[in-house]
Structure 1
Amino acid sequence: MKQYYLVRLDDACPQMNRLRWQRIENILDKYGIKPMVGIIPHNEDPVTCIDTIDTNFTSKVLNWQKKGWAIALHGYNHVCTTITGGINPVHKRSEFAGLPLAEQKEKISKGYKTLITVGIHPKYFFAPSHTYDENTLKALVEETSIRIISDSIALQPYKQGVFTMIPCQMGRFRRLPIRGYWTFCFHPNGMDDVAFDTFEHFIKTNLERFINFSDIDVNKVGKKTIVDRLLSFVYFTLRKIKG
């Protein structure tokens, strides 16, 4: 297994910082990188309400889709109401984990239909704060055609039931000594000039390692390896110890 880099962008919504999102789009287009972008269908999170509502947001997402960006359903309203981390406890808060199945089905159904109705077809899912539970997976199966999730700790994609899990491990670019599929997760709304310069420099100097999500053949993905199970156990154990 070689070393592959993937880019994920979180919190795209009508109230996002349009100038910063355009800046990161320009950089990615310059180097031919097609990221995964998480769309919040009905944003009610004040933290991500930065600009006035962009009436052209749907057209922007449709253009991303046309360019081959990987479109992900990123929750429903991006508001965390529970204090549990579920089966991927990166944080102790969640929009989904801990809620009854019926409530999760309603949120996911509304979000999915909101996007489908305007021609946006998400093939991927990732939850706000990285947190979800078994009910979230059941809701996705029953309410959507989505069978690929961007989250979990591992060195390579793996099968979990009917889902293909693509790990998401890093919140910033860094050179790594271990081979694997490394997803770097960015929040353009919060990036400053230094962050953008660092972002472009890393891509420019490591371009040969970057791939697109569509390059992953989900039909060839196997079960989670023993090494990845151990890695996940160690990672979450250390997070728990650190509090």
Structure 2
Amino acid sequence: MFAKYIIRLDDIAENMNNSNFFLLKDIFIKNNIQPLIGVIPNNQDEELLRYPKSEFDFWQEIRELQRLGWNIAVHGYNHKFETNSSGILGINKRSEFAGLALEKQNEKIIKAIKVFNENKINIDAFMAPAHSYDINTLRCLFDNQINSITDGYGIFPYKKEGIVFVPQLFSKPRKMPFGIYTFCFHPNDMTIDQINELDIFIKRNRNNIITFNNVINKYNNSMYKIVINSLIEKLVKSYRIYRAR
């Protein structure tokens, strides 16, 4: 089994680095690649609001990308961090969701869905801001029929609390021997060199780049994959503890 790759873009919003976004869009379209993009329904992140508001019809652009086969994740509701919780994954000590009461989280999810529905966007996945969510987040997603998440440890999809997780480990593209890997990029912060590096990786590995939905549709939870994921999780957590010393 050859490795397969998913391209993920975070922090897609009405206020963003449009120059980088359209450079990446051009690369994806030329190479017939359909990435997963995390769209913020009601952006209130002060760092992102420093970018000028899009002069084009933002939601029309998202609808067109979905028509082209791009997968759309709901990237929180407003991307404002309300707690210092690192959630289940323990990566970043900030969160829009983890640590909040179930009712408050559910309210955010419902509002996010409403914005997407009003703009005729289908939700393919949930993408937690700062990779931070907790058990209440999962329950709210399940109750609102959002059944997949782009995040987690491992190299194969797995299921928890009725939700399919497609793990995300790396922020830099790299050739791997086997497994399914999501490479996470933040277009707002990417340099031209990083964009060119991604372009080269795509050209060299185009046949092994797949869509998020393709993985979800072919998901199976074999014991072999469960064991491999468990080992990967232990290794990654041990490495992070070692680096933090």
TM range (shorter): over 0.9
1:77-100 superposed Cα distances (whole Å, 9 cap, x missing partner)? 111121121111121211111111
Displacement of 1:163 in angstroms is 0.8
Describe the shift of the 1:16–1:39 C-alpha distance in structure 2 as closer, same or farther (beyond 3 A): same
The residue aligned with 2:220 is 221
Partner of 1:33: 33
* Residue 158 (1) aligns with residue 144 (2): no
Following superposition, the deviation at residue 222 of structure 1 comes to 1.0
2-structure distance, mates of 1:208, 1:161: 33
What's the C-alpha RMSD, in Å, of the aligned pairs? 1.5
Paired residues in the alignment total: 241
1:76 is matched with which residue? 77
Q: Could you tell me how far 1:122 is from its partner in structure 2?
A: 0.8
- C-alpha contact 2:164 2:216 (8 A) present in aligned 1: no
The whole-number CA distance in structure 2 between the counterparts of 1:209 and 1:157 is 17
User: How is 1:47-58 mapped onto 2 (pairs within 5 angstroms)?
Assistant: 47-54=47-54, 56-58=57-59
Q: What TM-score, normalized to structure 2?
A: 0.93
Matches within 5 A, 1:1-243: 1-54=1-54, 56-142=57-143, 144-176=144-176, 178-218=177-217, 220-222=219-221, 225-243=226-244
Structure 2, gaps ≥5 residues long: none
Cα distance per residue 1:132-165 (max 9 Å; x no partner): 00000111122x2210100001111111131111
- Partners of 1:45 and 1:237 lie apart in 2 by 32
- 1:157-188 CA-to-partner distances (Å, cap 9, x unmatched) read 11113111101111111223x41001000011
Q: Distance in 1 between matches of 2:218 and 2:211?
A: 16
Counterpart of 2:243 in structure 1: which amino acid?
K
Segment drifting more, 211-220 vs 114-123: 211-220
Contact preservation (8 Å) 1:159, 1:222: yes
Q: Distance in 1 between matches of 2:216 and 2:132?
A: 25
- TM-score, with structure 1 as normaliser: 0.94
Distance (whole Å) between structure 2 residues aligned to residue 82 and residue 236 of structure 1: 22
Deviations 1:4-56 (A, max 9, x none): 01100000100011111111000000100100000101111122224322251
Cα pair 1:90 1:236 within 8 Å, conserved: no
Structure 1, unaligned runs of 5 or more: none
- Provide runs of 4+ in structure 1 moved above 4 Å: none
Aligned partner of residue 183 in structure 1, secondary structure: strand
Separation (CA, whole Å) in 1 of partners of 2:163 and 2:131: 16
